[in-house]
Structure 1
Amino acid sequence: MLLASLNPAAVAAGADLPDAVTIDGTTLSRSDLVGAATSVAERVAGLSRVAVLATPSVSTVLAVVGCLIAGVPVVPVPADVGATERAHMLTDSGAVAWLGEAPEQPGGLPHIPVRLYARSWHRYREPDPAAVALIIYTSGTTGLPKGVPMRRAQIAADIDALAAAWAWTADDVLVHGLPLFHVHGLVLGLLGSLRIGNRFVHTGKPTPQAYAAVAGTMYFGVPTVWSRVAADPESAAALRSARLLISGSAALPTPVFDRLVELTGHAPIERYGSTESMITLSTRVDGERRPGWVGLPLEGVSTRLVDEAGAAVPCDGETIGLLEVRGPMVFDGYLNRPDATAEAFDDGWYRTGDVAVIDADGMHRIVGRESVDLIKTGGFRVGAGEIETTLLGHPAVVEAAVVGVPDDELGQRIVAYVVAASDSSVTAEELTELVAQQLSAHKRPREVRFADALPRNAMGKVTKKQLIAEASTE
């Protein structure tokens, strides 16, 4: 059963939990979830697909869980997505109704409200493990978002593999304030908790103060969240009683990692994945947690590094290659996009589009996206990540993003965007020299640009294509 803790028979026999899910100021017991979500299931059973405006609310939780009970695929839609992308998601997915909240412009679809206090105890047969549970859309960095169908068995396999790596049990209290329309917040956070059977607390916004106010054992955050926690010693100290601090969706800067260790006593767990593969790599609760490295393959996962020609790249901890993965949680292909699906796979291996290095012990370090983080300059292959890490080592640097900009002489020239501390007088020359001293001279930025902030998407990832476009037109 995908949502194992919500087994109606077990709940009816007394396996209740009074505070199974807390979100938007409301706490739901397991019996609340079973009864209310089953009432939702009765309203949508038989529909082909429904869209859910995935706000952090009780309505969203019941809408998603109700559909999973009824075996109706859910299309989580970000509340702040643009009108063009939202219309594409609805049309491409074939959603036939909005369930729960609806946007001001519903796109012609009927609206099915979620009745928070309605209850049903009808028993539904568990859907086929091969059935699609969710259709989550990618961030659309290379055109309109692509739909990724996620099967029930794939979701279950990923959660179970993470449970083994993190010693995640029903005794945990999982806390986060992340969006409920992506893998991190929805699949791992909510569905993971409902499968494992632990308490789940959504803080609304992922502020240091909100995290500190909950006595959790596991905390999820993206690097921007952890950066704020590291800058708030009082809130960080409150997390000392936790068991795991888990970071994902982007690389965690080494200075933030080190500061969290100092303030909380915890070396963060770092993991790696994507919408298409869910989570495939992670450091382990009982293993090494090395800043900048995302760990080992989860149970059932295989990885390999190849060059542009498809030849194997040595796993020496230094040589950069294109990362490919396979495992029971990897998707089968994009919705309605056989062309994109063909490009995404190489004889069963999923081409992640990320570049990485693997050391002799199997530890993985993600250099970044092939399209924006692998910089080919003056005949050298340079990873943007190691330059960013070096820049972040300067006490005056708060944030850094490194990109490759087209250059007639070098092929690409290295440009660094830096957010410096407000009271800093650090210069571009000083930062360029820092990189040249700590790394090879050819890795030094040819240009350092200071900014008040870096552009980021809803998951906290820096939108480097925006920076490349800006630097290329000036």
Structure 2
Amino acid sequence: MKIIVDLPNLPLFTQILHHAEIQRKHKPAIIDVKAGTSHSYRHLVSDIVELRKRLLKNAGTSVEDLKEARVAFLCPNGYDYVVSQWSVWSAGGIAVPLCITHPLPELLYVLNDSQSTIVITHSDFQEKINDIAREAGIKKVIVVCDKKQKYSQYNDVNFKSPSIIPMDDSRRAMIIYTSGTTGKPKGVVSTHANITAQVKSLVDAWRWNDKDKILHVLPLHHMHGIINALTCGLYAGATVEMMPKFDAASVWNRWMKPDNDLSLFMAVPTIYSKLIQYYKDNIPKEIQPLATQSCSQFRLMVSGSSALPIPIRNSWKEISGGVVLLERYGMSEIGMGLSHEYEIEKRFEGCVGVPLPDVQVRLMSEYGKDITMAVEQPGELHVKGPNVFKEYWNRPEATKKEFTEDGWFKTGDIAMITAKEKVFKILGRQSVDIIKSGSYKISALEIEKELLSHPDIQEVSIVGVEDPEWGQKVGAIVVLKNHSKLDLKQLREFAKDRLANYKVPTLLKVVNEMPKNAMGKVNKKELVKFFDD
């Protein structure tokens, strides 16, 4: 029986269908390192179609389109993640990726807040997801990677050119949860048009092509991993080799294989820091030249999600044999907005480059004046363009607050244009209640709310403490009740059941009284000084 492909006429899908039709039948789209499997573009297309059928069947026998129903999915980094997400898109649903390392309360929050009606889960997480799906009132759970059931009976003989169905690219496509100054994470809604604009911009700027092969080690519940490293690769017809998680030893071992067939690597500063440390501490001196030589296979190595410390930048250049990391700037609401240009000589220390194709940016003074043309003048960075998100899910007031009357998104980041290079430099956050640690943007208010439920804590303030590896660490200043005692280990044990691991404080200072100003407000910039000693 011939497989009839039925997919939407959205650019992402027409691209992968194009690759499936013209490329060699064995050209890998996805290499799943954990599973030890390789999947061609034809295989990927066939499996997306098959899971799409299962999704529509679960939604109702007469349903032809999920009509923006939210479909959450919990899959490890690998082939099943890709099939799940693209199947949701192809069926007209809104993809809600869940983080495999989040504790149950955070997963339940996302399910409830997104109002998801279907959950896709990898068989490894079936038991975990069943409990929270039941608590969220979700009855439809689809299990993928079941050893007894494959997606499709794909082979090269039964693959057929697709039939294409219309779908408006203004429809909502994905909800990514990101922390904000109001506490609990907000759902950032991107449309298909937003995602396409982000992908085309990056493919153009970073010169993706179908000969590329990227080693993917990033989490897949944030834009960096989903768009930059995965979707761009598939759009370009490249091969995405997916590791289940980052491990410094595994990455170096993969790079030093004789194949030398990788061309791109994208990571956060913390990952580069760990790679540097492993190189120095664990790779024998006589092998280090081979490790250095292995970096020459990459035409592009990117760092983002938080500021790249200059010592890490310089150390990487040294041990990699001259690779200058390309820095860029982005966030969940805009995808990527700024990037250094492709040429190495146009990558400047401590800066994030210039606007990406089709992205508009401006700097606004605290008095509401456009100061974009003024060099060395700090202002809030505003962004406009087809890449900018549609809304915060079910939060119209929060959405309205983050946009100007003339349609610019207010990033909350302070930036300036350098006098010499004429490129953008990020100076910091307007709000001290947002902490950037590793690749994560963390709400201090959310952590404070959870820690205040501790029976011995009377007051708590969470601050970001500068750190050369993580960008910032999460620090807690607490006032205890009735002369109670609390150490960092006890605090972390309490928090781990309530917060994702990256939100759990790594620093603690117990004080007798929380310093406040005449208005009774805590000055967090002053509180950071508690961690100076």
Assess same fold via TM > 0.5.
yes
- Alignment map for 1:42-441 (pairs within 5 Å): 42-45=53-56, 46-47=65-66, 48-101=69-122, 102=126, 103=129, 104-106=131-133, 107-109=136-138, 110-114=140-144, 115-119=149-153, 123-140=163-180, 142-212=182-252, 213-214=254-255, 215-233=261-279, 234=288, 235-264=291-320, 265-286=322-343, 288-313=346-371, 315-346=373-404, 347-360=406-419, 362-372=422-432
Match of 2:44 in 1: 33
Q: For 1:283 and 1:50, how far apart are their aligned partners in 2?
A: 35
Q: For 1:275, give the aligned amino acid.
A: S
Q: For 2:26 and 2:70, how far apart are their aligned partners in 1?
A: 30
Contact in 1 for aligned 2:16/2:235 (Cα 8 Å): no
Q: What displacement does 1:239 show? A: 1.5
Q: For 2:409 and 2:222, how far apart are their aligned partners in 1?
A: 19
Q: What displacement does 1:100 show? A: 2.9
Q: What displacement does 1:324 show? A: 0.8
Q: What displacement does 1:70 show? A: 2.1
Match of 1:21 in 2: 30
Q: For 2:339 and 2:427, how far apart are their aligned partners in 1?
A: 15
Q: What displacement does 1:36 show? A: 1.0
Q: For 2:303, give the aligned amino acid.
A: S
Q: What displacement does 1:337 show? A: 0.6
Q: For 1:223 and 1:256, how far apart are their aligned partners in 2?
A: 7
Q: For 1:256, give the aligned amino acid.
A: I
Q: For 2:431, give the aligned amino acid.
A: S
Q: For 1:303 and 1:195, how far apart are their aligned partners in 2?
A: 26
Alpha carbons of 1:259 and 1:357: their partners in 2 closer, same or farther (altered >3 Å)?
same
1:11 to 13, 20, 25: 20
SS for the counterpart of 2:167 is: coil
Q: What displacement does 1:7 show? A: 4.2
Alpha carbons of 1:22 and 1:266: their partners in 2 closer, same or farther (altered >3 Å)?
same
Contact in 2 for aligned 1:55/1:179 (Cα 8 Å): no
Contact in 1 for aligned 2:75/2:121 (Cα 8 Å): no
Please give the per-residue CA displacement for 1:218-274, whole angstroms capped at 9, x wherever unaligned: 101000011122234434542122101101110111111111212222111111111
Unpaired runs of 5+ residues, structure 1, are: 375-383, 386-402, 404-413, 421-450
Decide which structure has the larger Cα Rg and report it: 2
SS for the counterpart of 1:255 is: helix
Contact in 1 for aligned 2:181/2:431 (Cα 8 Å): no
Q: For 2:209 and 2:273, how far apart are their aligned partners in 1?
A: 27
Q: TM-score, normalised by structure 2?
A: 0.69
Q: For 1:322 and 1:245, how far apart are their aligned partners in 2?
A: 28
SS for the counterpart of 1:365 is: strand
Q: TM-score, normalised by structure 1?
A: 0.76
Contact in 1 for aligned 2:48/2:87 (Cα 8 Å): yes
Contact in 2 for aligned 1:229/1:236 (Cα 8 Å): no
Contact in 1 for aligned 2:181/2:433 (Cα 8 Å): no
Contact in 2 for aligned 1:44/1:72 (Cα 8 Å): no
Alpha carbons of 1:113 and 1:126: their partners in 2 closer, same or farther (altered >3 Å)?
farther
Q: What displacement does 1:86 show? A: 2.4
SS for the counterpart of 1:138 is: strand
Contact in 1 for aligned 2:213/2:239 (Cα 8 Å): yes
Alpha carbons of 1:350 and 1:362: their partners in 2 closer, same or farther (altered >3 Å)?
farther
SS for the counterpart of 1:175 is: strand
Q: For 2:337, give the aligned amino acid.
A: T
Q: What displacement does 1:209 show? A: 3.2
Q: For 1:231, give the aligned amino acid.
A: Q
Q: What displacement does 1:84 show? A: 3.5
Contact in 2 for aligned 1:35/1:118 (Cα 8 Å): yes
Q: For 1:29, give the aligned amino acid.
A: S
Q: Which has the higher contact order (CA 8 A, sep 6+)?
A: 2
Percentage of identical aligned residues:
31
SS for the counterpart of 2:45 is: helix
Moved more, 308-317 or 261-270: 308-317
SS for the counterpart of 2:189 is: strand
Alpha carbons of 1:473 and 1:241: their partners in 2 closer, same or farther (altered >3 Å)?
closer
Q: For 2:372 and 2:13, how far apart are their aligned partners in 1?
A: 41
Q: For 1:350, give the aligned amino acid.
A: F
Q: For 1:348, give the aligned amino acid.
A: G
Aligned length: 408
RMSD: 3.6
Q: For 2:70 and 2:366, how far apart are their aligned partners in 1?
A: 39
Q: What displacement does 1:139 show? A: 3.2
Q: For 1:238 and 1:171, how far apart are their aligned partners in 2?
A: 18
Q: For 2:167, give the aligned amino acid.
A: P
